[in-house]
A and B are shown apart, each in its own frame.
Chain A
Amino acid sequence: MKVLIIEDEPALATNIVEYLSGQNYICELAPTFQRAMDKLSQYNYDCILLDIMLPDGDGIRLLEQIKMAGKEDGVIIISAKDSLDDKIRGLEIGADDYLTKPFHLSELAARMFAVIRRKKFGNTNKLNVGYLEIDIPAKCVSIKGKQILLTKTEFDLLLFFIGNPNKVISKGALAEHLSGDYADMFDNYDFIYAHVKNLKKKLFDAGYEHELKTVYGTGYKWER
């Protein structure tokens, strides 16, 4: 899958490229508004990561161009601006998601995974991972036709892991993913442990081999 990273901060762009490598992504970089315009006029992408604050132009205008050209590319805005107006404006113009800096790369990967799948499969978004059959819109997981009952949190976690195959994910990333604005409610992220444990147990009880591994004590990894 092709990804265009429109980001003027090279260190951040290479972070993303490096993290996504080894997964099914081919990344291209566009550090300026002009370069991004050039790329967009020539190619289509599965997903575009768009920093709206570019040195030579407003990223929102790029988004407008993409939408005016009738492109179907999924767009995730990554911005240092945590302003709701920007968020609403971006989503109204047609961005698929909005991520505020700073973010965990695993969070970005999970969001990209979701956006791309939604774009591709829409309402019939069924995902097969090994024996697992995941109906994303219905939030249903089953193995060989047998349904596994997961809580909302466990389902969220499962998708997060699947969006980050073979990556070590810290419990901090999981906690921030789950709690969002309320992450500062916690003195520690130990509550993640119980959720992951339950998820693992449910998958195991349903007869699914352990792909979800605990690493270094408190980190996790979805091995494929």
Chain B
Amino acid sequence: MNKLLSRTFISFSIYALFVLAASIPAYHYIVDGIWLAELDEHNQIIASRTEHELNKMHLDEKQLKESIKLWNSIQPGTSLEETNFDVNLKDSLFIEFRQNPYLKRVEIDRFRGLRKFIHINGKPFILTVETNVEETEETVAAIAMVTLIFFVILVLGFLVLNMRLSKKLWKPFRAALKNLKEFNLNHQKPIEFAETKILEFKELNQALEKLIGHTLLVYKGQKEFTENASHELQTPLSIIKGKLNLLLQDEPVTQRQYQLIEEIDFAIGRITRINRNLLILAKIENNQFNNTEKVDLSETVRKIKREVEDYYRLDEASFIEEIDSGIVISGNQTLIEIMTGNLISNAFKYNTESGKITISLTKIGLTVSNSSTNSLPTEKLFKRFSTTRKYGSGLGLAIVKEICIKNAWEVKYTFKEGLHIFNVFFQTD
């Protein structure tokens, strides 16, 4: 994963590298061009002055010859030769490479030359002026070096700017991100984004506010719907149940009719419990079990165990109880009773024939286990209506999970050595 800014940083740096690299030949051509033009001008001046001065001296033939000889031997870079072409030939420019004769090592020098036809005392001469010019490689190398230094400065500058920008410019973005990470739909609290002057972030924040507001509304509506629907169902269910009771009193009811009534009654009992559990879930989510108190968990667990075991004949060494005394946790009494009740009654309900049930309670947590033949699907176990069992409400474990979430406890299911094991770990502080 790359940070957005390091992405742009890399792109910018690569782009800068290309531009600067391309600038090296460009600079070279410009510098070289100026250099040569300047030298041509310089050569021209020397040639013109030479012509002018020699003519001004009014030397005779002999003197001129000697002077030219002397000139040619001591004046470096120029030569003056008599020519027979008495035409007004054009001047010519040339470049020449020569080994420096005074150095032993190989040192090729570049020369810019001007060949000019001049007239001294009316006679035509070829005047050649040569001036040493910086070689191409040296110019390029120098420019490249400077460019490289600037590239390094540029990249370092990018780095520093990047760090400062990412700290400053992205501050509202980071703040918004932090808010989003901490957002919890259950708390029903909209996020308040900090004011920002940057258009993009402002738009982002507005869009997020709108989205979250809408989500909260939908979520609230859905929860209220569950609660209202559950409430509304109670009365018609009550009426059906009552009518069945009355139907039972009509004599004589046939045996078959009686069986039917019993079965309907049983199904209604199940609807009622699903309904009640949905209501409990909705209420937990709607924070209607808010009052927290110190709950004697040891006592609660023992009480629920006593209530539940009344209905089951547990014999032999099939029941193990390790409940430490005086375990007190803070939470809502009702919710804690519901949670332990669900876990313990599940253990009894789903225990195999002459299976083993263990309830253990320590400071760290509550463990309830029962015998079974195969593991349960862990990932959907705590989801609503995920159990395949026909007669449960399918909500017991979802409620347990929800209660644990509310109290920041952790509930875990494991299947080990033929046992379903449910652990609730309390936050120890």
Contacts and interface: CB of A to CB of B under 8 A. Distances in A.
A172 B262 contact: yes
B246 A9 contact: no
A217 B257 CA distance: 12
B225 interface: no
Given A15-B243, A15-B245, A184-B392, A218 B262 contact: yes
A139 to B, nearest CB: 15
Interface in A189-224: 189, 191, 215-219
A62 to B, nearest CB: 19
A179 B311 contact: yes
Given A184-B391, A216-B253, A171 B262 contact: yes
A184 B273 contact: yes
Interface string A90-117: 0000000000111111100000000000
A186 B391 contact: yes
B261 interface: yes
Interface in B393-408: 393, 396
Nearest to A81: B231
Given A182-B341, A182-B345, A19 B249 contact: yes
A167 B265 CA distance: 16
Interface in B262-281: 262, 265-266, 268-270, 272-273, 276, 279
B240 interface: yes
B19 interface: no
B245 A217 contact: no
B308 A170 contact: no
B307 interface: yes
Interface string B232-255: 101101111111011011000101
A185 B308 contact: yes
B249 A103 contact: no
Q: Which range contains the number of A residues in contact with the other chain?
A: 35 or more
Contact of A84 (B246, B258, B311, B334): B334
Interface residues of B, number: 46
A185 B268 contact: no
A16 B242 contact: yes
B245 A19 contact: yes
A213 B211 CA distance: 65
B428 interface: no
A181 B307 CA distance: 10
Given A170-B261, A171-B262, A106 B393 contact: no
A173 B243 CA distance: 13
B223 interface: no
A9 B235 contact: yes
Contacts of B111: none
Contact of B249 (A9, A168, A171): A168
Interface centre among A12, A153, A171, A218 (most CB of B within 10 A): A12
Given A101-B234, A102-B268, A12 B245 contact: no
A82 interface: yes
A15 B244 CA distance: 10
A90 to B, nearest CB: 15
Contact of A19 (B234, B246, B259, B272): B246
Interface of B: 231-232, 234-235, 237-243, 245-246, 248-249, 253, 255, 258-259, 261-262, 265-266, 268-270, 272-273, 276, 279, 283, 288, 307-308, 310-311, 334, 341, 345, 348-349, 390-393, 396
Interface of A: 9, 11-12, 15-16, 18-19, 80-85, 100-106, 153, 167-173, 176, 178-179, 181-189, 191, 215-219
26 contacts: A12-B242, A15-B242, A19-B246, A80-B232, A80-B234, A81-B231, A82-B279, A100-B276, A101-B234, A102-B235, A102-B237, A104-B241, A104-B245, A105-B245, A168-B253, A172-B265, A173-B265, A181-B341, A183-B273, A184-B391, A184-B392, A185-B311, A216-B255, A217-B259, A218-B258, A219-B248
Shortest 5 CB-CB contacts between residues of A and residues of B: A15-B242, A102-B238, A216-B258, A80-B234, A102-B237
